[in-house]
């Protein structure tokens, strides 16, 4: 029976690249493993796979009865819908511990680092398996993406060290320049439907029974959103209604200015203001220094909704 490896819903480059890298490692260890994804890849991931010559992982949304390895989340809401009917044999993750449970013992690789691929690198080292140049290339890109080229507060020395080693294997001379290239691809919004932008990196959270959706778009220049902010807000409002959310938020992150403008549609804006100690005006608020949804946004909202 094959082992299926998948990252979270609305896959990002970490989910895609860690699934591919981990499937390679498992195959080297004699376990037939197949990298999967739960949905369409984003333009950044497409760029990375193309650059290093990989096909997209297969799309698979049902895992009932299958041996499954989850990467880049342990949140049930972000796992496949039937994950509790699957045989989860392992997890790799770098987020807060979620609510995924298993019925049998599992292999757990969870660390407070900036990217799941940094942990997958540790797994290769642990098993003494050599990392091929192309796999090292996509792992490098995923770490640069998740750590916002080392600027995110989630970035650790292990992430920097992993990029040093992986980029050497991949023959990447200037990882930071490659990182900027990635963020330019990530920033491309022209001609993209508003809903695609809102959902490009969107996660739904259950915060003590309150449903909060938070999307994030990262850019090298926030002004590129000036003309479409009103449209983004309108679509965010529609999404909030469709999904029955209490709040639908979109972080427009400027990696050069090192902060995020938060677009807010909420049943109770005071909750959002309380979370960040800031005033929302015209459905927007600038959050200085905020680059990480996981570390600088989610915990503060969860605290407020916990009451
Ligand atoms: Mn992710
Ligand atoms: Mn990640």
Q: How far is the CA of 229 from the centre of ligand 2 (A)?
A: 26
Q: How far is the CA of 125 from the centre of ligand 2 (A)?
A: 19
- Cα 164 to Cα 155: distance, rounded to the nearest angstrom: 14
| pLDDT score, position 191 | 87
Q: How far is the CA of 18 from the centre of ligand 2 (A)?
A: 9
Residues with CB under 5 A from ligand 2 (ion): 14, 72, 116, 146
Q: How far is the CA of 143 from the centre of ligand 2 (A)?
A: 8
Q: How far is the CA of 8 from the centre of ligand 2 (A)?
A: 9
| pLDDT score, position 18 | 98
The pTM of this model reads 0.92
Which residues touch 120 (CB under 8 Å, ≥6 apart)? 18, 21, 22, 25, 71, 92, 109, 139
CATH for 194-306 (3.10.310.20, 3.30.70.120, 3.30.1130.10, 3.30.365.10)? 3.10.310.20
pLDDT in tens, the chain (307 residues): 899 999 999 999 999 999 999 999 999 999 999 999 999 999 999 999 999 999 999 999 999 999 999 999 999 999 999 999 999 999 999 999 999 999 899 999 999 999 999 999 999 999 999 999 999 999 999 999 999 999 999 999 999 999 999 999 999 999 999 999 999 998 888 889 999 999 999 999 999 999 999 999 999 899 999 999 999 999 999 999 999 999 999 999 999 999 999 999 999 999 999 999 999 999 999 999 999 999 999 999 999 999 8
Phi/psi class of residue 203: alpha, beta or left (left: φ > 0; alpha: ψ in -120 to 50)?
A: beta
| pLDDT score, position 188 | 83
Q: How far is the CA of 274 from the centre of ligand 1 (A)?
A: 26
Among 105, 108, 68, 97, smallest CA distance to 85 is for 68
Among 263, 257, 251, smallest CA distance to 288 is for 257
| pLDDT score, position 59 | 98
Q: How far is the CA of 228 from the centre of ligand 1 (A)?
A: 25
Cα atoms in the 13 Å half-sphere on the side-chain side of 117: 34
Q: Residue 157: how many CB atoms within 10 A of its CB?
A: 9
User: Can you say whether the dihedral through the CA atoms of 136, 140, 141, 147 is positive or negative?
Assistant: positive
- Cα 261 to Cα 234: distance, rounded to the nearest angstrom: 16
- Cα 275 to Cα 84: distance, rounded to the nearest angstrom: 32
Distances from the Cα of 261 to the Cα of 74, 252, 278, 283, 289, angstroms:
27, 5, 12, 10, 10
Q: Are 255 and 187 in contact (CB under 8 A)?
A: no
Q: How far is the CA of 213 from the centre of ligand 1 (A)?
A: 15
Q: How far is the CA of 14 from the centre of ligand 2 (A)?
A: 5
Among 9, 82, 43, 40, smallest CA distance to 186 is for 43
Q: Are 95 and 115 in contact (CB under 8 A)?
A: no
Helix (H) or strand (E) holding 265: strand 259-266
Q: How far is the CA of 154 from the centre of ligand 2 (A)?
A: 10
| pLDDT score, position 256 | 92
Q: Where in the chain is the domain with CATH 3.10.310.20?
A: 194-306
What the block records as the tokens of 167 is 């980029």
What the block records as the tokens of 120 is 């997958």
| pLDDT score, position 216 | 97
SS3 of 211, please? strand
Q: How far is the CA of 203 from the centre of ligand 1 (A)?
A: 10
| Residue 203 phi, psi (nearest 5) | -130, 135
Q: How far is the CA of 15 from the centre of ligand 2 (A)?
A: 7
Q: How far is the CA of 75 from the centre of ligand 2 (A)?
A: 13
| pLDDT score, position 82 | 98
Q: How far is the CA of 94 from the centre of ligand 1 (A)?
A: 9
Helix (H) or strand (E) holding 56: none
Please name the CATH architecture into which domain 3-184 falls: Alpha-Beta Complex (3.90)
């Amino acid at each position: 029976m094959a082992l299926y490896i998948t990252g979270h819903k609305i896959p990002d480059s970490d989910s895609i690249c860690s699934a591919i890298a981990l499937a390679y490692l498992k195959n080297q260890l004699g376990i037939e493993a197949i990298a999967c994804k739960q949905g369409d890849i984003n333009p950044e991931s497409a760029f990375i796979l193309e650059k290093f010559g990989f096909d997209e992982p297969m799309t698979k949304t049902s895992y009932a009865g299958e041996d499954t390895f989850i990467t880049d989340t342990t949140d049930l809401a972000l796992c496949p819908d039937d994950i509790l009917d699957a045989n989860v044999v392992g997890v790799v993750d770098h987020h807060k511990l979620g609510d995924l449970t298993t019925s049998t013992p599992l292999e757990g690789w969870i660390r407070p680092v900036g990217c799941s691929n940094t942990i997958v690198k540790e797994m290769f080292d642990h098993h003494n398996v050599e990392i091929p140049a192309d796999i090292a290339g996509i792992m490098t890109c995923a770490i640069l993406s998740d750590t916002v080229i080392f600027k995110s507060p989630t970035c650790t020395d292990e992430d920097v060290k992993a990029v040093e080693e992986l980029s050497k294997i991949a023959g990447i001379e200037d990882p930071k320049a490659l990182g900027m290239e990635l963020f330019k691809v990530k920033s491309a919004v022209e001609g993209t439907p508003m809903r695609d932008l809102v959902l490009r990196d969107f996660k739904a959270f259950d915060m003590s029974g309150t449903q909060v959706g938070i999307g994030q778009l990262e850019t090298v220049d926030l002004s590129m959103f000036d003309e479409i902010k009103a449209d983004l807000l309108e679509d965010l409002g529609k999404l909030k209604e469709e999904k029955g959310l209490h709040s639908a938020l979109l972080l427009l992150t400027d990696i050069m200015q090192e902060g995020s403008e938060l677009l807010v549609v909420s049943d109770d804006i005071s909750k959002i203001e309380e979370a960040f100690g800031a005033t929302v005006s015209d459905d927007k608020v600038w959050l200085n220094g905020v680059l990480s949804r996981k570390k600088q946004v989610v915990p503060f909202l969860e605290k407020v909704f916990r009451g």
